[in-house]
Amino acid sequence: MSDNLKVGIVGCGGLGRSQASIVNELADVNLVAVADVNLESAQQLANELDVALATDDYHQLLAADLDAVLVVTPTYTHKEIVIAAAEAGLDVFCEKPMATSVGDCEAMMAAAEASGVQLMIGYVLRFYPAYIEMQKMAEDGRLGEVRLAWAVRMGGRPPAGIGEWRREKEKVGGLYSAACHQMDLLLWMVGPATEVTGHVNWGSFDDTDTEDSIIISWWAANGAVCSLHTSQLYPVGGSEFGLGGSAGSVKLIDSNTVLFADHEGNQETIAGEPVEGLVAELSHFFDCCRSGEPNHIPGKAGRDSLEIFEAAYMSAEKKTPVRLPII
């Protein structure tokens, strides 16, 4: 593979357009093809960025002379496109959530492994300084033994999107469409889960079959207790993220800043240099495409975060904890 990567993008909506603009500005990366089921969207983006190929058939894009493809489409389409791209021998960046089921995730992973290509999942928060600092604290022992990990992501109803696909559980999967970011971070910092309990309710809105709210708690393999709360019933909003350990704790202030406190009453605010998360994320992916080195957020990360949500839905239905793995 040459250093000058040839890249295609499938999905020309808001995020796809943002990623296309980033690709267009990066050195040693050429955006040579875009695809969208809405041909007008693809053609408009191609005209704006002087891209050679615009199509409404992603198979035509995959047949072009490419090194890598970015999949920035609705969740329920990811499996089909990612597998086709992997079978075409292309490195694949797939936006989060990875898929709508753990089984689909594993099929995507298997296709990438069989073809020997990169598969990276778009958990962009891992590239922000505050989360990097928190993960470092969990790893280097500054917190002592991590015994608590928790996150809250509250908000109002998600944007419906074209065709209102985000309101159909079969297509979006559920509230994890957004909260999978926080789930991924918790697993990155604390390690794998062993047993999951979920509390879920539905039914406040007639135009959706996704859940109103979900509260998940789980045991980590290292003995930590973990939780994640998320809802579409809370338009006033709210977000919290923190770790607690035998030596101290750390709390998210913003994407660049954390507050650390130990058990003797000492506190320290730690601020990092602001970054453009999407730029850092895509730059890492392209670096791995060139070098062949494994990327930091492989398919297993997408699979493992989804497994906890899937286990939580099962737990809520059965009214009992669910042991992992579920398949």
DSSP state for residue 206 in the 8-state scheme: T
**pLDDT surpasses 80 at 146:** yes
- Cα 28 to chain center, whole Å? 25
Answering whether pTM is above 0.85, one says yes
**pLDDT surpasses 60 at 207:** yes
DSSP state for residue 162 in the 8-state scheme: G
**pLDDT surpasses 60 at 309:** yes
> Residue 23 in contact with residue 48, Cβ under 8 Å?
no
Give start-end residues of each CATH 3.40.50.720 domain in the chain: 5-123+278-298
DSSP state for residue 83 in the 8-state scheme: H
Give the pLDDT confidence score for residue 167 in this predicted structure.
85
Q: What is the mean pLDDT of residues 185-193?
A: 98
- State which fold the 5-123+278-298 domain adopts: Rossmann fold (3.40.50)
Give start-end residues of each CATH 3.30.360.10 domain in the chain: 125-274+306-323
Give the pLDDT confidence score for residue 119 in this predicted structure.
98
pLDDT digits (tens, 9 = 90+) for 33-88: 999 999 999 999 999 999 999 999 999 999 999 999 999 999 999 999 999 999 99
Give the pLDDT confidence score for residue 2 in this predicted structure.
60
User: How many CA atoms, within 13 angstroms, populate the side-chain half-sphere of residue 105?
Assistant: 23
Which CATH number does 125-274+306-323 carry? 3.30.360.10
Min mean pLDDT across 122-131, 160-169, 240-249 is at 160-169
In whole numbers, what is the pLDDT of the chain averaged over residues?
Answer: 96
Q: What is the mean pLDDT of residues 173-201?
A: 96
Give the pLDDT confidence score for residue 62 in this predicted structure.
98
Q: What is the mean pLDDT of residues 93-116?
A: 98
Min mean pLDDT across 59-73, 113-127, 151-165 is at 151-165
Place of tokens 């990623």: 19
CA–CA separation, 181 vs 192, rounded Å?
Answer: 15
What pLDDT band is residue 164 in, cutting at 50, 70 and 90? confident
Count of Cβ atoms closer than 10 Å to residue 207 Cβ: 9
Provide the pairing of β-strand 68-71 with 91-95: parallel
What pLDDT band is residue 160 in, cutting at 50, 70 and 90? low
Place of tokens 């002379």: 65
Give the pLDDT confidence score for residue 158 in this predicted structure.
77
CA–CA separation, 138 vs 148, rounded Å?
Answer: 11
Identify which of 57, 115, 55 has the alpha carbon closest to the alpha carbon of residue 83: 115
Tokens of residue 64, six digits: 């072009």
